[in-house]
């Protein structure tokens, strides 16, 4: 078995390192983390346009580079070397894989090309700061980590052909700026309770959205103080927020748990490389 990097993988590292050396020095990092989004949006768009960074691990059919977790980890190693503040982990290592694994074909076609192009960012939203539990990084994720209908969780209620979300979540990575939220919410009564994932178009942007950039009605987002300024976090309150079920009814609670665990394994490698 040949464990050496390919020429393409070396090229990803070289190109990214050279660009970040020019654009991501100590002064640039300090300036970026103090902006409202917490990162340099122009640099993020450049990384998307020139290197396809957000879509590195996405299939070419959805506008990605058709690489994989290894290439994403290599990219994270270089962004970590430069201490780059960006939505890379939240978007490319966490949210996009969940949309790819569980989304319907319509949802994938609408969201993934825009994510790969750097036009949309995304992040998972898990209540009570239990993202590591949901991703099965601290043990099995088959428990009641999404709140179980109790206070402090997020509840989903069917309304007509859509869904409405109620609840709150803290320590959401890039949660104050992400365009798409992948929200873990509890649904069903006590006897049939389960945790499913829902999509919220947080900034009102994206295919099929007519509200402009005014934000989703009922969604309150406040940036939180974080020890690591390069990883901005936010507290979210959802008050009757419109959402759509990820997968549009194709996925049950077990499928959601499997997809979260698989995403957790890839994200852990990306974080370790970073």
pLDDT per 10-residue tile (average), the chain, 274 residues: 78 94 95 96 96 95 94 95 97 98 97 97 92 90 66 84 93 96 85 84 58 71 93 95 92 90 95 94
Give the pLDDT score at 249. 81
Torsion angle, CA of 234/239/240/243, rounded to 10 degrees? 0
Q: How far is CA 262 from CA 64, 180, 212, in A?
A: 19, 20, 34
Fold adopted by 122-250: Butyryl-CoA Dehydrogenase, subunit A; domain 2 (2.40.110)
Give the pLDDT score at 43. 97
d(CA 269, CA 274): 9
pTM equals 0.92
Q: Where are the domains of the chain?
A: 7-120+267-273, 122-250
Q: Does domain 7-120+267-273 have CATH number 1.10.540.10?
A: yes
């Amino acid at each position: 078995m040949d464990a050496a990097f390919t020429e393409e993988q070396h090229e990803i590292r070289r190109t990214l390192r050279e660009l970040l050396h020019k654009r991501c020095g100590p002064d640039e990092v300090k300036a970026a983390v103090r902006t409202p989004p917490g990162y340099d949006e122009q640099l993020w768009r450049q990384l998307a346009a020139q290197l396809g960074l957000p879509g590195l691990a996405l299939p070419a059919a959805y506008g990605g580079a058709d690489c994989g977790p290894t290439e994403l980890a290599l990219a994270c190693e270089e962004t970590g070397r430069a201490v780059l503040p960006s939505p890379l982990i939240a978007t490319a290592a966490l949210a996009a894989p969940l949309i790819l694994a569980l989304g319907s074909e319509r949802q994938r076609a609408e969201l993934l090309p825009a994510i790969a192009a750097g036009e949309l960012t995304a992040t998972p939203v898990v209540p009570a700061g239990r993202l590591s539990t949901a991703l099965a990084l601290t043990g099995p994720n088959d428990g009641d980590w999404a709140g179980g209908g109790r206070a402090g969780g997020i509840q989903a209620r069917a309304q007509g052909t859509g869904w409405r979300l109620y609840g709150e979540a803290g320590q959401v990575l890039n949660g104050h700026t992400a365009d798409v939220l992948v929200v873990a919410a509890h649904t069903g009564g006590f006897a049939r309770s389960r945790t499913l994932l829902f999509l919220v178009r947080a900034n009102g942007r994206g295919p099929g959205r007519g509200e402009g950039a005014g934000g989703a009605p009922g969604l309150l987002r406040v940036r939180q103080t974080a020890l690591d300024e390069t990883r901005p976090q936010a507290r979210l309150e959802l008050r009757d927020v419109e959402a759509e079920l990820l997968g549009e009814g194709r996925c049950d609670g077990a499928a959601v748990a499997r997809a979260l665990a698989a995403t957790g394994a890839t994200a852990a490698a990306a974080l370790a490389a970073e």
